[in-house]
Amino acid sequence: MTIQSLILLIPLLPLIGCLTAGLFGALIGRAGAHWVTILAVAGSLLLSSYVAWEVFYNDLPVLNYSVYTWAVTDGIRFEIGFLIDSLTALMMVVVTFVSLMVHIYTIGYMHDDDGYQRFFAYINLFTFAMLMLVMANNFLQLFFGWEAVGVVSYLLIGFWFKKDSAVRANLKAFLVNRVGDFGFLLGIAAVLFYMGSLDYAEVFAATPAVEGQTIAILGQMEWQVMTFICICLFIGAMGKSAQVPLHVWLPDSMEGPTPISALIHAATMVTAGIFMVARLSPMFETSVTALSFILVIGAITALFMGLVGIVQNDIKRVIAYSTLSQLGYMTVALGVSAYSAAIFHLMTHAFFKALLFLAAGSVIMALHHKQDMRQMGGLARYMPITTVTAWLGSLALIGFPFFSGFYSKDLIIEAVKLADRPGVAFATFAVYAGVFITALYSFRLLYLAFHGPTRMDEDTRSHAHESPLVVTIPLILLAIPSVLIGYFTVQPLLFGGALADAIHVREAHDVVAALADKVTSPFAFALHGFVTLVFWLAMLGVGLATYIYLFNPALAERIRQRLGLVWTILDRKYGFDELYQRVFAGGGLRIADGLSRGGDRFLIDGVIVNGTARLVGRLAGVARQIQSGFLFHYAFAMIIGLVAIVASFVLLR
């Protein structure tokens, strides 16, 4: 078997799994459905690991090949094909690993759900779509994967489709993502127009020739073509990776079952935008303007979404805002050309954030689907494994030295400090402040959920217990990379050139390379981490959370009252939802109604069409005295006659 056919199996296995579980779910039963889908993803993981091994250890040369020709038209070949390099291999392993963990976890989480088989079919389908996205070697397939993961996300957010809040959230998620896709599609159209191809390799080869060209969009203002293309593409990333102001769908997506929050809305799909920019680094490198734009958007998201996380009471929403903030960090890294650092944080985040979501899910299961942290507390006594793994995940999230998140987040902060382009000053402030905020909300969550006095009612408390093995084993398996993966991969990935075949940074922009001498060894770097400002900011956040939520709970309420307006603004999430609801949803419907009534029914039909009819009617009143009958009767007669003539001609010829 050639490696090409093995690679083809990687996305196909989950597709087959999805079709089997989805179409024949009733036939194969619940166990059949989870076995088929889990084996499919496990097979994908094994093959992905094999490919990654070949890429990273045996120096498999970059594979770039077509699987089939989608269409050939007007001299343009649209191919479906794979690009297998270090970036793809890394993403494939991350996606299939987290997916497998989530599959196993789902056996426990969805145990009593009527839609058991359907759920497994969806997450298998998601894995297929995500793999197609990361393995693409062209924009067409990228867009296919991009939209396909969006659809599965839509189906899964609305998985409990009887719940009104769920089907509102999934419609909102899809439409907000479509705003991003709108920009993305225009970007793709521009790529085809200026580069003459949608194939990555050909586009990258054509990029230097396009650099320097300008385009006039509105009036005389000339844009750099590359800036225009990159910003359009990044708008797509803003939708998928939930960057301000297109972030509003992600917190609402928590209406979906928790396993998919972990898989789709934390570890994989929402990082597609980050992946895309890194994949297209040769293009983004040509426009510092676009990168500055990315930097500022990322910094805003990292800072302001983290702040909202502090005031949330729903355990999943805290983690959702944390995800937004962390995606902001990755975007900041992209904005300073530290693509490899962004991908590195993407990977560590995938593990520890999936872990945190699954731990939250474990809590939610134990409490019979209660998610309000004000009714938790003291769960450590009942759920030791969940508690320990949640701690490990949180320590990784706040960037505690030696944990995986430490390496990835610290390097982003260091990279921002070294960078030199518009927006860096604000971004520096945002990423530093973000460290304090992250520590604060993370430990607030830990204390409110697992420690302190219990606020559960008696009935809930008596039923609280540790989750079954299918839940705790994925937690443990995710906790291992959450702790260790940074230590072992930081040097090869960032400084050893492991991603060099996929990510291209201009020398003048290469802040990651400039960091190399700071990170002589992962051990020394982490040791040094204890004496940095970043560490003490984090400790300040931890300390504050400990004081307030563990020792002086009444203080929280007093602070809330003192902060008044600020607290309200955060609690309202800066009013984005209300604004969008009023302006876009409400406004759009008003326009629709106005055009429908005023344009179609009144003006065109009422005045013009029926008005003409009335006029003709009046005139015909005169004619009618001469000839009776209707216009269409005559027309009929004429036509039937014509047909008969043709028919008789054919028959009698």
Partner 1 sequence: MSEWPLLSLLVWLPIAAAVGLAVLGQNQPGLVRPLALVATLVTFALSLVLWSGFDAGTSMMQFEERLVWIAAFDIHYHLGVDGLSLPLILLTTLIGVLIVIAGWQIGERPHLYLAAFLLLQGLMTGMFAALDALLFYVFFEAMLVPMFLIIGIWGGPNRIYATIKFFLFTFFGSVFMLIALIWLYLQGGSFAILDLHQQTIDLNAQVWIFLAFLIAFAVKVPMWPVHTWLPDAHVEAPTGGSVVLAAIMLKIGGYGLVRFSLPIVPDAAAALDWLVIGLSLVAIAYIGFVALAQSDMKKLIAYSSISHMGFVTLGLFLAFAIVRNTGEVTGAGLGISGAMVQMISHGFISGAMFLAVGVLYDRVHSREISSYGGVANTMPWFAMFAVLFFMANAGLPGTSGFVGEFMVILAAFHANFWFAFVAGTTLLLGAAYSLWLVKRVFYGEIGNSAVAALKDLSGREWLLMVTLAVLVLGVGVWPWPLLNMMEVSVQNLVEHIMNSKLPG
Backbone angles phi, psi at 2, to 5 degrees: -75, 160
For partner 1, the closer of residues 564 and 629 by Cβ is: 629
**Amino acid at position 348, single letter:** T
Shortest distance (Å) from residue 632 CB to partner 1:
5
For partner 1, the closer of residues 77 and 421 by Cβ is: 77
Closest CA to 273 of 138, 409, 177: 177
Shortest distance (Å) from residue 587 CB to partner 1:
11
Shortest distance (Å) from residue 124 CB to partner 1:
15
Shortest distance (Å) from residue 631 CB to partner 1:
8
Residues binding partner 1 (CB under 8 A): 68-76, 143-144, 146-148, 151, 154-155, 158, 161-162, 164, 167-168, 171, 174-175, 178-179, 181-182, 185-186, 188-190, 192-193, 196, 215, 217, 588-589, 591-593, 595-597, 599-600, 604-605, 608-609, 613, 631-632, 635-636, 639-640, 642-643, 646-647, 649-650, 653
For partner 1, the closer of residues 57 and 68 by Cβ is: 68
> How many CA atoms does the CB half-sphere of 238 hold within 13 Å?
28
Q: Return the ∠ at Cα 638 (arms to 635 and 644), rounded to 5°.
A: 140
Shortest distance (Å) from residue 528 CB to partner 1:
47
Task: Rounding to the nearest 10 degrees, give the CA dihedral for residues 467, 470, 474, 476.
Answer: 60
How far is the C-alpha of 439 from the C-alpha of 405, rounded, in Å? 12
Closest CA to 382 of 290, 308, 265, 462: 462
The pairing of strands 222-224 and 76-84 is unpaired
For partner 1, the closer of residues 74 and 507 by Cβ is: 74
For partner 1, the closer of residues 165 and 568 by Cβ is: 165
For partner 1, the closer of residues 578 and 593 by Cβ is: 593
| Two structure tokens written together for 201 | 């390799």
Shortest distance (Å) from residue 258 CB to partner 1:
20
How far is the C-alpha of 324 from the C-alpha of 197, rounded, in Å? 34
For partner 1, the closer of residues 73 and 627 by Cβ is: 73
How far is the C-alpha of 234 from the C-alpha of 332, rounded, in Å? 13
Q: List beta partners, residue 76.
A: 73
Shortest distance (Å) from residue 248 CB to partner 1:
15
Shortest distance (Å) from residue 648 CB to partner 1:
11
Shortest distance (Å) from residue 641 CB to partner 1:
10
- Residue 221 DSSP one-character state: -
Q: Return the ∠ at Cα 535 (arms to 532 and 536), rounded to 5°.
A: 90
| Two structure tokens written together for 177 | 């993502």
Shortest distance (Å) from residue 390 CB to partner 1:
33
Shortest distance (Å) from residue 261 CB to partner 1:
20
Closest CA to 244 of 430, 62, 73, 77: 430
Q: CB under 8 Å to 389, separation ≥6 — which residues?
A: 355, 359, 472, 475, 476, 478, 479
Is residue 459 helix, strand or coil?
A: helix
Burial grade of 95 (CB within 10 A; 0-12, 13-18, 19 or more): buried
Shortest distance (Å) from residue 269 CB to partner 1:
15
Block residue for tokens 């490899």? 340
For partner 1, the closer of residues 572 and 590 by Cβ is: 590
Residue 75: how many other CB atoms lie within 10 Å:
6
Shortest distance (Å) from residue 175 CB to partner 1:
6
* Residue 34 contacts residue 103 (beta carbons within 8 Å): yes
Block residue for tokens 């439409």? 175
Shortest distance (Å) from residue 147 CB to partner 1:
5
Shortest distance (Å) from residue 623 CB to partner 1:
16
Closest CA to 178 of 104, 94, 238: 238
For partner 1, the closer of residues 562 and 653 by Cβ is: 653
For partner 1, the closer of residues 151 and 418 by Cβ is: 151
For partner 1, the closer of residues 240 and 444 by Cβ is: 240
For partner 1, the closer of residues 164 and 458 by Cβ is: 164
How far is the C-alpha of 111 from the C-alpha of 119, rounded, in Å? 11
Q: How far is CA 260 from the centre of its chain?
A: 12
Q: What spatial distance separates the first Cα and last Cα of the chain, rounded to whole Å?
A: 63
For partner 1, the closer of residues 164 and 517 by Cβ is: 164
> How many CA atoms does the CB half-sphere of 178 hold within 13 Å?
8
For partner 1, the closer of residues 70 and 391 by Cβ is: 70
For partner 1, the closer of residues 77 and 455 by Cβ is: 77
Task: Rounding to the nearest 10 degrees, give the CA dihedral for residues 392, 395, 400, 401.
Answer: 10
How far is the C-alpha of 99 from the C-alpha of 264, rounded, in Å? 9
* Residue 531 contacts residue 429 (beta carbons within 8 Å): no
